[in-house]
Structure 1
Amino acid sequence: MAERLADVRQRVSAAARLAGRDPSELTTIAVTKFHPASLVRELAEAGLLDVGENREQEATAKSQELEDLDLRWHFIGQLQSKKARRVQRFSRWIHSLDRESLRTALAHDDGPSTSVFIQVNLTSDPGRGGLSSGELSAFADRVAGTPGLDLVGVMGVAPLDEEPRRAFARLKALSDALVRSHPGAASISAGMSADFEDAIAEGATHLRIGSAITGNRPERR
């Protein structure tokens, strides 16, 4: 794992410099779905404190087991509205805000703010998670006015049947338009193990990297 992490860090830095960017602008999030808490502890010992999970029950258990560590938990998967408050107990970063019911479920007027990314659907399939580009502006206005939520940017997943950089370029254009109305929402959550270098080239600030760091997932129990 240490060798994989070192390799990813080197690739992130090289891609950032190639794009004329400062590598320190980028946040690498290790996606640890189905991996044990012991692996997360190894990552923390190696200096990687940003951890991504997409299942509330698994993430809750890990965060409780690792509460002695100063980890930054990112919820990156589709989130059911009924589980929103449970996720907020351990995570101040949610990357998959994609509908009105979830926005209202996440609203709160007590405790620290929750940093949220609006998920954009980069495919032509309306069944995929995320808002269409045409829905983004009005929804962002509502999110920005929601108590307890800090709109930090957009999130997207590149389609499997398209060159990733083209999809990320569309996400960057949407981000640029959003920033004109919401200057604080300049972050872009994009890029996974197979395409994070393309995402960096198109302005990604938060990389959600799984197997390139953690290795193959164990069999689900």
Structure 2
Amino acid sequence: MDTALADRLAAVDERIRDAARAAHRDPAEVTRIVVTKFHPASLVTDLHALGVRHVGENRQQELTAKRAELTGIRDLTWHFIGQAQTNKARAVRASADAVHSVDRARIADALDAAGADGILDVLLQVNLTDDPGRGGVAPAGVEELAAHVAGLPSLRLRGVMAVAPLDEEPARAFERLRRSADDARRVVPDAGWISAGMTGDFPEAIAMGATHLRIGSAITGPRPPRD
């Protein structure tokens, strides 16, 4: 077993506990998703041996390949956190247990149409920048999109997700996301997930109510070189 990996995981988990307690929250309320982008499936196996049960992927091809390679591990929850595309909705739906990046009705419809049976957990990705070209629904459109998703039979709206802009204090951005979470809950009262916080800003996300953190390099180490 990679002792460095175990040490990094333990260090991050300690920081999560400290941040939760500082925010007067129960650390058990916070789910840590380890993002394994560009790392081999063997790293997921090592993480599982260390107790990790939630992993995230940004790219559909990696999600599909890793899940297929690791069919023997049945108690992992696979989160798709990358930009969703309608032409890949069927492949994402086949491999993901939760999709964090629903930002328009069209992708919601495609994910719903791809589900022959079962229910897929989804979150609304919210754009916290002033750039309409960035991924995510505008905060003003959250309630409308939430209502659309709520009407699709094979999707279950769980909450909201966002990435903090690089040019803004993370706490301010996550405070806006919390307001979007309130908007989503006005439509679906039990949509309580807030997916926010990465390696550089997860303490601020926890302070603003994040329930799911997406942490990569602080746990996995540097990404391996790509061919």
Same structural fold, with TM-score higher than 0.5 when normalized by the shorter chain: yes
2:63 aligns to what?
Answer: 59
Q: 1:18 aligns with which of 19, 22, 26?
A: 22
Instruction: Tell me how far 1:158 sits from its aligned partner.
Output: 0.2
Whole-Å separation in 1 of the counterparts to 2:186 and 2:64: 36
Whole-Å separation in 2 of the counterparts to 1:99 and 1:170: 19
Instruction: Tell me how far 1:177 sits from its aligned partner.
Output: 2.7
Q: 1:173 aligns to what SS in structure 2?
A: helix
Quickly say closer, same or farther: Cα 1:181–1:99, change in 2 above 3 A: closer
Whole-Å separation in 2 of the counterparts to 1:160 and 1:200: 18
Whole-Å separation in 1 of the counterparts to 2:52 and 2:105: 33
1:92 aligns to what?
Answer: 97
- Matches for 1:113-128 after TM superposition, within 5 Å: 113-128=119-134
1:76 aligns to what?
Answer: 81
Whole-Å separation in 2 of the counterparts to 1:174 and 1:18: 23
2:181 aligns to what?
Answer: 175
1:162 aligns to what?
Answer: 168
Instruction: Tell me how far 1:186 sits from its aligned partner.
Output: 1.2
Q: Match of 1:202, as an amino acid? A: M
Instruction: Tell me how far 1:93 sits from its aligned partner.
Output: 0.2
Q: Match of 1:187, as an amino acid? A: W
* Per-residue Cα deviation, 1:9-59 (whole angstroms, up to 9, x for no partner): 001011111111111111100000000111110100000010100111111
Q: Match of 2:7, as an amino acid? A: E
2:46 aligns to what?
Answer: 42
Instruction: Tell me how far 1:178 sits from its aligned partner.
Output: 2.2
Provide the alpha-carbon RMSD of the alignment. Answer: 1.0
Whole-Å separation in 1 of the counterparts to 2:153 and 2:87: 18
Greater shift, 106-115 or 12-21, is seen at: 106-115
Q: 2:116 aligns to what SS in structure 1?
A: coil
TM-score by structure 1 length? 0.97
Whole-Å separation in 2 of the counterparts to 1:177 and 1:130: 15
Instruction: Tell me how far 1:74 sits from its aligned partner.
Output: 0.3
- The gaps in structure 1 that reach 5 residues or longer are none
Whole-Å separation in 1 of the counterparts to 2:154 and 2:83: 20
1:102 matched to 2:107: yes
Greater shift, 161-170 or 100-109, is seen at: 100-109
* Per-residue Cα deviation, 1:134-180 (whole angstroms, up to 9, x for no partner): 11111110101111000000001000000001000000111123213
Whole-Å separation in 2 of the counterparts to 1:11 and 1:64: 32
Percent identity of equivalent pairs: 56
Q: 1:145 aligns with which of 151, 157, 172?
A: 151
1:209 matched to 2:215: yes
